[in-house]
Amino acid sequence: MTHKVILGNCEEELKSLPDNSVDSVVTDPPYELGFMGKSWDSSGIAYNVDMWKEVFRVLKPGGHLLSFGGSRTYHRMACAIEDAGFEIRDQIMWVYGSGFPKSLDVAKALDKMAGVEFEAKPASGVGFMNSTDDGYNTTLNQLVQTGESTEEAKKWKGWGTALKPAHEPIVMARKPLSEKTVAKNVLAHGTGAINIDGSRIGDEVRTYGGMSANQPEVGTFRDDNWVPKEIEVTVSGRYPANFIHDGSDEVVELFPDTGKSTGGRIGKKDTSGVNIVPAGQYEAGDPGFGDSGSAARYFYCAKTSKRDRNEGLDGFEEKRPDDRTETGMGTFVEKGVAKQANHHPTVKPTDLMRYLVRMVTPPNGTVLDPFTGSGSTGKAATLEGFNFIGVEQNPEYIKIAEARIKAAESK
């Protein structure tokens, strides 16, 4: 198992890689929103067809590409990927309840124009960059009005400019096969299919009792009396869907069944003891096998925890994403945005990236991430036993990525 993170512009650095040399691409490119004023999030690279053509070239025939996008800009990225030669196969939705709306409060803006005073006070809402160990983010401070509102502002109270973000789309694309069928392509290149069983939700061990036509061995007749025999069976999880959620109450409440069960995570076993249920039946709310509306039918993964974000970064200097002043919103210091060793502002959770790389990468395969950032894909690929190649243009993020991948290797 090897890993390599290359410093430089991805379009140029990819040219150094051989044709048809990587098995999958799992990446989180800029959403081109200018997030936190970062120049790398407004360069247009995610829409660059020539860059995606380089990704296409180095990917083996039949290899899959999974690429995150923003809800407002996903379409332009998907079109660029398609124009580069990829087949768009599906769209995966990662749905979460902890998104923070970056919406202008129109009444507050009018009050500021009129000179009404505000001060930083402890916040009660959610925000970003202060991720706690349970995977959710909290804003420590918010600007609170201390002066009297103007009559004009009162007319526009409750008006804003944006919805609360609650999902991020992931494009699933595939390089066309070089062989006539998927079966032949798999034999020729090891690519073309996705790992269904490796992505199933909620495998568990159950004990069954009773008789059925398909399982006569579960008991015997003795003197006309049925004597049941208990057997352990490992039941395959649910077929993976193009829907992933964060397990938050906001999302789970959309479903009539409980859903927020550990069985929603991939590969979890029932460690609390064997469930005794009649043959051919499942208890309501069973992990991965609840009623048809249960959220447990889908893979879930919370947003990045503080521990996940900073693992392997002992001794790194803690920083904020930057210390600029946001127009009309106060500085990050005023808002209480925490300093962190991993100060990259858009870190994806390792469990989510592990699930994605496992889904599209063949055994002993090589995963490419042309937008490595702080190394979440590399960390995930390493934990899953895959080789990894990453490209990142920020030297600080390269150091963070290398340290996180090295910590994963030690596991």
Q: What is the CATH number of the domain that holds 64?
A: 3.40.50.150
209 with 278, same domain? yes
264 with 401, same domain? no
Q: Are 31 and 70 in contact (CB under 8 A)?
A: yes
Residue 264 has pLDDT above 50, yes or no: no
CA angle 5, 405, 34 (to 5 degrees): 65
Q: Is residue 242 part of a domain?
A: no
Q: What is the mean pLDDT of residues 291-317?
A: 73
Instruction: Give the range of the structural domain holding residue 325, as residue numbers without chain letter.
Output: 98-165+305-343
**What pLDDT shows up at residue 206?**
55
120 with 152, same domain? yes
**What pLDDT shows up at residue 337?**
61
Residue 386 neighbours by CB distance under 10 Å: 26
**What pLDDT shows up at residue 361?**
97
Whole-number Å distance between alpha carbons of 185 and 187: 5
189 with 153, same domain? no
Give the confidence band of 320 by pLDDT, cuts at 50, 70, 90. confident
Residue 205 has pLDDT above 70, yes or no: no
222 with 358, same domain? no
88 with 170, same domain? yes
Q: Is residue 241 part of a domain?
A: no
Nearby residues of 277 by Cβ (< 8 Å), 6 or more positions away: 206, 208, 283
Compute CA distances 307 → 100, 340, 404, whole Å: 21, 11, 11
Please give the torsion angle defined by the CA atoms of residues 395, 396, 400 and 405, in that order, rounded to the nearest 10 degrees.
0
Q: pLDDT tens digit string along 77-124? A: 999 999 999 999 999 999 888 777 778 889 989 998 988 887 766 654
Q: What percent of the chain has pLDDT over 70?
A: 68
Q: Is residue 377 part of a domain?
A: yes
Provide the pairing of β-strand 231-235 with 219-222. Answer: unpaired
359 with 220, same domain? no
**What pLDDT shows up at residue 287?**
38
Give the confidence band of 323 by pLDDT, cuts at 50, 70, 90. very low
Q: Are 148 and 116 in contact (CB under 8 A)?
A: yes
Least confident of 209-213, 237-241, 335-339, 368-372: 209-213
| Count of structural domains, the chain | 3
47 with 178, same domain? yes
Whole-model pTM: value is 0.76
Give the confidence band of 178 by pLDDT, cuts at 50, 70, 90. very high
**What pLDDT shows up at residue 204?**
56
Whole-number Å distance between alpha carbons of 232 and 212: 15
34 with 65, same domain? yes
Give the confidence band of 233 by pLDDT, cuts at 50, 70, 90. low
Least confident of 295-309, 326-340, 348-362: 326-340
Whole-number Å distance between alpha carbons of 186 and 247: 35
**Average confidence score pLDDT of the chain:** 77
